[in-house]
Structure 1
Amino acid sequence: MRLPLVTVLGECVADAFTVPAPTPGELALRVLPGGGPANTAVALARLGTPARFLARLSDDVFGRLFRAHLEASGVDLTAAVRAPEPSTLAVAELDGQGQATYSFHARGTADWQWTADELAAADLASTTCLHSGSLALVREPGGRVVEEFLARAAAAATISLDPNVRPLLVAPEVYRERLPRWCELADVLRLSEDDLGLLLPEHTIERACDVWHAAGVPLVVITRGERGAVASLNGERISVPTPPADVVDTVGAGDSFTAGLLHHLGVKGLLGGRLTELRIDDVFDACVFAARVAALTCGVVGPNPPWANQLRLPAPAAGHAAG
């Protein structure tokens, strides 16, 4: 069966992890390809979903690393733009639980320089779902251009968004101001509990879901790390536990969850349009699958999602209401 094409729009970032230095007074870094949208595209392709990545990739040393990584994972780069600007660099320090704290080097880099002409050249005729998010939606000068592109795509494709709030680079107020518009466009909104705390700090998960449903998005999924996920389909909610995992770090876990969710919905023939055929049991099954994909990502260093042959899932149980 040929699965539907998912197009992913956004950044690819060099994730540099601090490692013990061989010599006192030196800082050693291990650089891996990352960035939320790129991680999602890689995870989709490795699961078997045809994934096309709309990105602005530099020809610098990091950009060449990105291209090799994406192509080796099966991501279609035919629509990627060769950018003259340098790549974005993020330096990550991991705590004892594998959580990352980042410092970003992103001024004037390739990822945020989208022009209307560049995106006008992208053919979405065969795209069933368009996923975007993270910094590409809010960093200027390209952010507004990306939002306009999503608005055009929403007429035919399912729109999936992940805000992935990065307060060190863009103030949360910018995300809050634009989120109602994103909810008008989106069919799927996937975000972390940390994102929720930055976007609607006084809201419970249930109240936040209701706010975003009222703004127009039918499916909201909030991931909660080791406490699983809560999904809300037009106000009907379920909770999904996190499967057992030996956590090395959590980098890219949310992106892998998004990919697992979209992949499973695509396998079931549920992507395309405004998800009018989607039912809450479908959402539960997709989230169970997505949680497994995320757990496997946590078991390795960096944003390195699993391949389809690494997944051995039991049949999902029936959905249950969230408390």
Structure 2
Amino acid sequence: MARSGSPGSITVLGECVADIFEDSAQSGPDGLSLRAMPGGGPANTAVALARLGTPTRFLGRFSNDTFGALFRARLGASGVDLTASVNASEPSTLAVADLDGTGQAAYTFYADGAADWQWTDHELAQATNDDAVCLHTGSLALVRQPGGSRVEDHLAQAREHATVSIDPNVRPLLVPPPVYRERLPRWCAAADILRLSEEDCGILAPGASFEEACDTWHAAGTPLIVITLGGRGALVSLHGNRAIVPAPPVAIVDTVGAGDSFTAGLLHRLAASGRLGGRIDDLTLEDVIDACTFAAHVAALTCSVSGANPPWADGPTLRIGTAPRLPQLGN
């Protein structure tokens, strides 16, 4: 049963990635100018949670290279607790982004041998935090070896005292889709919350409708499934009871980090209302709709600025770029 009375802290476990974008204003026939922005799904989620006001702890393996310093600076400036993260000798993960005319990003990854995937059992044991009401993970850190299997084992231990949230964030260019499909039943058995995009759903459950996919994953053990649908909002399914939550209108600059911001908004809202801290048996569909409505606003504000730059709950300015103030929603 979820805790009540105190929102508690959330731990996020996963990778940091340097998102590399072309700076077209500076590029020309003599050279391509690139801009590196700190990213990575789990890191983006941790930043968004902290900016929303949730006490947030990030478990990551930071390279000693220039990008590792960039990651630490961004997370720290957003108020994320990094005391349990690891300094690593391996290089950082890089993702070169190609934006289309609608702001959608496709990535080419440079990730072999990177620091993010080298978790050891000892490092994860040292990072255990029984005070967190939720452990969120997913993306490449959950599936790339040698660390992925160890992260799975860590989830089983964390589940004894915390709500478990997973975002598969499927990257088929780096990990073959059959690998995700083989592991997904184990993730569903561990997860209380599964948040994924409609693109993820198409890869993980090819040929199935969203409803059929949700029912399969409910049967595997996950009570709450949220499928984000871009500008069409989100489909929520709680034990098979479903609803569509609309997305607010927004002038899109790009969609980088939108799904991660949605996840952060969802977990923040549930934590603030005392709904996290163990199994979510007492969660209602109305609770989920409320949390996803808030999450959709957070994602929309992220789409209104360049890069994975989620909003702050208080204060309109950022140390990296600028982002709008988050509007207050009713309790």
Matches within 5 A, 1:41-190: 41-190=46-195
Structure 2 counterpart SS, 1:308 = coil
Which moves more between the two structures, 24-33 or 144-153?
24-33
Q: Which residue of 2 aligns with 1:302?
A: 307
Q: Which residue of 1 aligns with 2:20?
A: 16
Distance (Å, rounded) in 2 between the aligned partners of 1:305 and 1:2: 24
Does residue 230 (structure 1) correspond to residue 235 (structure 2)? The answer is yes
Q: Which residue of 2 aligns with 1:278?
A: 283
The CA deviation at 1:25 is: 3.4
CA gap 1:315/1:2 in 2 versus in 1, 3 angstroms? closer
Does residue 311 (structure 1) correspond to residue 295 (structure 2)? The answer is no
What per-residue deviation string (whole Å, max 9, x for no partner) do you get for residues 140-186 of structure 1?
01000000001111111000000000001001110100000000000
Q: TM-score, normalised by structure 2?
A: 0.94
Q: Structure 1: 5+ residue runs without aligned partners? A: 317-323
Q: TM-score, normalised by structure 1?
A: 0.96
Structure 2 counterpart SS, 1:128 = strand
Distance (Å, rounded) in 2 between the aligned partners of 1:217 and 1:139: 22
Matches within 5 A, 1:189-268: 189-268=194-273
Q: Which residue of 2 aligns with 1:6?
A: 10
What per-residue deviation string (whole Å, max 9, x for no partner) do you get for residues 76-130 of structure 1?
0000000010100000010011000100000101000001011011131111100
The AA in structure 1 aligned to 2:200 is D
Identity level (%): 65
Q: Which residue of 1 aligns with 2:35?
A: 30
Is the CA contact 2:7–2:273 (under 8 Å) kept in the aligned structure 1? Answer: no
Structure 2 counterpart SS, 1:270 = coil
Structure 1 counterpart SS, 2:248 = coil
Extract structure 1 runs of 4+ deviating beyond 4 A. none
Distance (Å, rounded) in 1 between the aligned partners of 2:330 and 2:244: 17
Structure 2 counterpart SS, 1:7 = strand
The CA deviation at 1:315 is: 3.6
Q: Which residue of 2 aligns with 1:320?
A: none
* Root-mean-square deviation over aligned CA pairs: 1.1
The CA deviation at 1:314 is: 4.6
Distance (Å, rounded) in 2 between the aligned partners of 1:193 and 1:74: 31
What per-residue deviation string (whole Å, max 9, x for no partner) do you get for residues 8-49 of structure 1?
000000001112144313111111100000000000000000
Distance (Å, rounded) in 2 between the aligned partners of 1:157 and 1:207: 28
Distance (Å, rounded) in 1 between the aligned partners of 2:258 and 2:98: 16
Count residues in correspondence: 316
The CA deviation at 1:201 is: 1.1
Distance (Å, rounded) in 2 between the aligned partners of 1:171 and 1:272: 33
The CA deviation at 1:3 is: 3.0
The CA deviation at 1:2 is: 5.7
Distance (Å, rounded) in 2 between the aligned partners of 1:45 and 1:111: 21
Distance (Å, rounded) in 1 between the aligned partners of 2:254 and 2:122: 39
The CA deviation at 1:256 is: 0.2
What per-residue deviation string (whole Å, max 9, x for no partner) do you get for residues 262-286 of structure 1?
0000110000111011000000000
Q: Structure 2: 5+ residue runs without aligned partners? A: 315-324
The CA deviation at 1:313 is: 3.7
Distance (Å, rounded) in 1 between the aligned partners of 2:196 and 2:308: 17
The AA in structure 2 aligned to 1:18 is E
Does residue 292 (structure 1) correspond to residue 297 (structure 2)? The answer is yes
What per-residue deviation string (whole Å, max 9, x for no partner) do you get for residues 209-242 of structure 1?
0000000000000000011100000000011111
The AA in structure 2 aligned to 1:6 is I
The AA in structure 1 aligned to 2:253 is V
Distance (Å, rounded) in 2 between the aligned partners of 1:108 and 1:33: 19
Distance (Å, rounded) in 2 between the aligned partners of 1:99 and 1:31: 17
Distance (Å, rounded) in 2 between the aligned partners of 1:28 and 1:198: 34
Distance (Å, rounded) in 2 between the aligned partners of 1:314 and 1:163: 28
Structure 2 counterpart SS, 1:179 = helix
